[in-house]
Each structure stands twice: as C-alpha cells, then as structure tokens.
Amino acid sequence: MKLLIVEDEKKLRISLANNIPWEKHGIEVVGLAANGREALQWIESRRPQLVLLDIQMPKMNGLELAEAARRIDPDIRCIVLSGHDNFGYARQAMELGISRYLLKPAGDTDILNAVLEAADRVRSELSRRHNMAELHGRWKQHLPHLQELFMQQWISGTFGDDELARRGQELQIGWPESDAFAVAVIDIDAAGGTGTASCPGVDDYPLLQFSLTDIAKESLGSLVWRVFRDGSGATVAVFAAPEGVHPNQLLLHIHTAAVKLTDTAKECLKTTASAGISGTAHGLGQLALLYRQARKSLEERIVHGTDIVIPYRDTGAAERGMLPPVSLEKKFESSVETGHADKAAELVKELLELGATATASAEDVQERLIALGGTVARLIHQQGWTIREVAEDDFDIYAHLSRLKTREQALDWLLRLVNRYCAYLQKERSGTVHETVRQMLAIVDEQIGKDISLHDVAERLFVNSSYLSRLFKQEVGKPFSNYLIDKKMERAKRLLQEGCKVYDTAERVGYKDVGYFSRLFHKYWGVTPGEVKDSSR
C-alpha cells in the first residue's frame, strides 16, 4: 500500500517518513510534499492509496488538498494530522470523508494505527468491489462477446482497413480521434498445480484472468480506449492520446496506470500480475504491430521476474509477420521466438511424438523435423542473424537431415538448436539492457549535486520506476538507492579532503539539510565530516 506524506514543517516531514516502521507493516512511502500543490503532482504521478496530511499549509490547505485528491482518485484515503483543535475543521473533514483526524503532537503509534486502519478500509473496499462471486456473474453478462472476438481477430492481423471499418461500424465500436496509440498486455503471473497464496492453482487461473480484466476496465484511466482479453485470456488495453498529448506522455501515463493496476491485483486477488507496454504508433492500422510489441515485452518476465511493468525495447531486429492462429506448431514458434527454452523443448517432444504416432514412419518424422528446423531457421533470419552463427557446429545438419536416423537423434538436434537460439537471444537482450543501465549511470553522474531519485530517472527515461529498480539491481548488483548514496558519500569525502567546507559539501552532493547530511555521512564512513576535513589539513 502506497503512502504520501504532506507536511510543511521539514523536520516533522522527515521524522514521519523515517521514524515510523512503515515497511514492516506493508506501507511504502512514495513521496514527501511540503505543500498541497506539490502533493497533487505526487498524486498524479504515483497514485498513492493513502495520504497523511496537515491542515495549515501554504498555497493550498489540507482540506482543499483532500477534496482535489478525491477528484483525481475517488478511492484515495486521507488522514489528517493537525495542530488545530477546531470543530469547524473536524466537521469539514468528516464531510470530505477523511478517515481520521489526529491532533499534534500525536504519537508514532497513534499515527501508524490511523494509517493502517485507513489501509484496511481500502482493502475492504477493493474486496467488496471485486468480489469473486460478483465477478463470476458479470463474466457472462457484461463482456460483449462479438466485440471481444472482433478485437482478438484485429490484433492477430485478420482484417484489412476496409473490413475493419465495416465490421467496427456493425459492432458499434467508435473510432477515437487521436494522434498516437499504444497497447498494454497485462496477465496473472503464474498458475501452479494445487495453488498457494502467491501462486494460483490451474483451476483458479481463468477466473483470476477475468477478474484482472474487470479491474483494468475500472482503473486504467481516461486515456484507455478499449479493454478486452486476447486468445490466451490476458488483458489487452488500447490507449489513445488526445490531440496535444505527446507520445512519451502517453507512455508515461500507461506505465503509471499499469503499476496501479498490478498493485490493485496484488491487494484484491492475492496474487501478482505483470504488464508489457508497446511503443507508440499513428493510426489504428498499426494495432496488430503494437500488440506484438506489448506481448513481447510481457514475455520478458522470464528475464526480469514477475510483478513488474516492462516497456518495449526495439533491439533492431526486423519486424515479424502477423501473429498466426493458435496451434501446437505456432505455440512452438512463439516459445522459441520469446526465449522460453523449456516450453519449446516440451512442444518439440510433443510434436515429434504426434508425428510418429500418426504414421509410424521415419519419413514422416523427418518431414516434421524439417518443418520444425525450418521454423527456427526462419526466426533466426527474422532477428537479422545467420543460421551458422547461432547453430554453430549443428549448422551442417541442416543440409544433411538424413543423418538423423532415429527420433532420439532428431530430438537431441532440435533441443540443442532451440537452446542455442534462446541463449543467443538472451545475449542480445543483455546488450539492450546494458544500454538502459548506462543511461541511468550517466544521469546519476550528471545530477549528483541534486536531490535525485529513482522516480526522477524513470520520468526522464519514460519508463516506470518498478521496472528500472529491478533492472538496475539485476545489472549492477545493488539497489539504485544504495548506489546513489555510495556515489554521493564518495564524492563528499573527496570534497572534504580537498578542503571544501561541510555546508558547501552537503549542498554539492544534493543535501540541503546539513544536519541530515552529517548524520548520514557518519553512519556511512564511521567519522563525521568535520573529522575528515580536519584530517586533510
């Protein structure tokens, strides 16, 4: 559950953030604001479910902020921490639906309990709204089957432009007026055999997928045009940018909305979900392309893990053709293309077994082998690689498939080929990932003298912070926040050793509060800034 702290008194604001064990109770402090206008910016960008706020603040008082916040997000819960025992304030707070009205100086325990109580109310409301039984009933009643089937065929590339317009008009699907479009594909992360608290069982999986779609329709924001499910049951959301909205702003909006959706799924459905985000394109004729990009991004869960929102990164490979109808051979193609080596291996065994069972003929098994080997070869060329560089010493077998005398030999060759393709794909992906991390490191070096955060970096790169956090730790080996402190403390020590004053040093590494800087420096190096400065004389 995400919490925003709004307090104009700096020391109290920092104390509220650092002295109460929020994380221990499942609360994440996503921002600190000094006034109401600054708080509204945090609410727009991070969408916290909880706000702890003061009444008397410059520019906009706490009650005005609470009213404005509810207009942005009706589900948000506010807790007032005020120094004014004023009945008028308290009555107005009740009218605005404020969860609790605390008087300063309230104890940390009282503040924590008030926030946890508001969090419980949020969870209860989510559970009530997305009750499984209610969703199961709405499954049959509120999903227009023909419209969903039309959208599924559209994203698979079935229709031409003329047929799209005709069929869309017949099904009463209005065309949005927009300069740019983008697609998100969101899905439940995993299905286990019997099911656990974090991994749903196979029997629960279809209902959870439907529930996720229903939640998405309510929570993805005003820029979403259509929300439906694809052939696998994943949620597909098509976003349209109004005139004047830059494509990068559209992508940032989608990332924020997708993060909120996955947070809601975790709270309500008691399981995790992930999202893949496409690039942008002009015109709905590119919808099939955008869907493939988003689907490819979602498949990157195999690299980055689950409970994450992943942006599309073009590796420079040629665009693939339209997605084919679902079949066993196409599932094999999709598994190889996205780097799912284990799944592809299972399908290879199944396809070869089917060929042998149907004919009991070595010739027919070889024909199936040619088809599967040809699929891998085509995927290699579509990536812009050569078969020889990927297949290595197995390349020659392409020209001499008759050397594979048994189904076991054929299976071994195909499995090696699939594994080499997936390994090569992983290597290429790593190169793209490193570029993103290099951009992050460059921003840190450039902005080291400012109060920079992971969220600032994410906004500059037009990517959500959850993805960057996991990506950075995976590549650098430590969290972004730890790396940033390391860089700041190393630079601070160097400046002090060069004779820089403590106050100036704090400012040059991005800390306006000298006392806080000194405590952090002492905790990091075991000595005070003054001791380091004195030792350099």
Confidence of residue 509 (pLDDT cuts 50, 70, 90): very high
Within 13 Å of residue 100, how many CA atoms lie on the same side as its CB?
21
Q: Which of 411, 333, 320 is nearest to 375 (CA)?
A: 333
Instruction: Describe the crossing of helices 407-446 and 465-476 by its angle, rounded to 10 degrees.
Output: 100
Tell me the average pLDDT of the chain. Answer: 82
Amino acid, res. 500: C
Query: Is the predicted pLDDT of residue 143 greater than 50, yes or no?
Result: no
Residue 346 near residue 508 (C-beta atoms within 8 A): no
> What does the pLDDT average to over 68-93?
82
- Tell me what pLDDT residue 437 has: 87
SS3 label, residue 82: strand
User: Strand 180-188 and strand 235-241: pairing?
Assistant: antiparallel
- Tell me what pLDDT residue 42 has: 93
Query: Which DSSP symbol is given to 35?
Result: S
- Tell me what pLDDT residue 303 has: 55
**ω into residue 105 within 30 of 0, thus cis?**
yes
Confidence of residue 500 (pLDDT cuts 50, 70, 90): very high
* 449-477 b/e (C-beta count within 10 Å ≥ 16 → b): eeebebbebbbebbbbbbbbbbbbeeeee
Confidence of residue 139 (pLDDT cuts 50, 70, 90): very low
Amino acid, res. 399: A
Q: Which of 287, 180, 304 is nearest to 230 (CA)?
A: 287
Structure tokens that stand for 526 in this block: 């075991």
Residue 382 to residue 288: CA distance in whole angstroms: 17
Residue 63 near residue 93 (C-beta atoms within 8 A): yes
Q: Which of 44, 19, 40, 41 is nearest to 29 (CA)?
A: 19
SS3 label, residue 44: helix
Longest CA span, the chain: 90
Structure tokens that stand for 186 in this block: 């969101």
The predicted-structure confidence for 336-371, as pLDDT tens digits, reads as follows 877 788 888 888 887 777 655 444 444 566 677 777
The predicted-structure confidence for 398-413, as pLDDT tens digits, reads as follows 777 766 655 667 788 8
- Tell me what pLDDT residue 325 has: 31
Residue 201 to residue 193: CA distance in whole angstroms: 5
Q: State if pTM tops 0.75.
A: no
DSSP per-residue letters across 213-273: HHHHHHHS-TTEEEEEE-TTS-EEEEEEEPTT--HHHHHHHHHHHHHHHHHHHHHHHSS-E
- Tell me what pLDDT residue 466 has: 85
Structure tokens that stand for 285 in this block: 């004729």
Residue 506 to residue 30: CA distance in whole angstroms: 24
The predicted-structure confidence for 158-182, as pLDDT tens digits, reads as follows 777 777 778 777 777 777 877 789 9
Show the beta-strand stretches assigned E in 242-349.
273-277, 309-311
- Tell me what pLDDT residue 507 has: 93
Residue 49 to residue 267: CA distance in whole angstroms: 11
Residue 24 near residue 70 (C-beta atoms within 8 A): no
Q: Which of 183, 231, 244, 276 is nearest to 467 (CA)?
A: 276
Residue 328: partners with Cβ closer than 8 Å, 6 or more residues away: 347, 350, 351, 354
Structure tokens that stand for 21 in this block: 């064990």
The mean-pLDDT minimum among 101-110, 201-210, 320-329, 441-450 falls in 320-329
Residue 246 near residue 261 (C-beta atoms within 8 A): no
Query: Is the predicted pLDDT of residue 135 greater than 70, yes or no?
Result: no
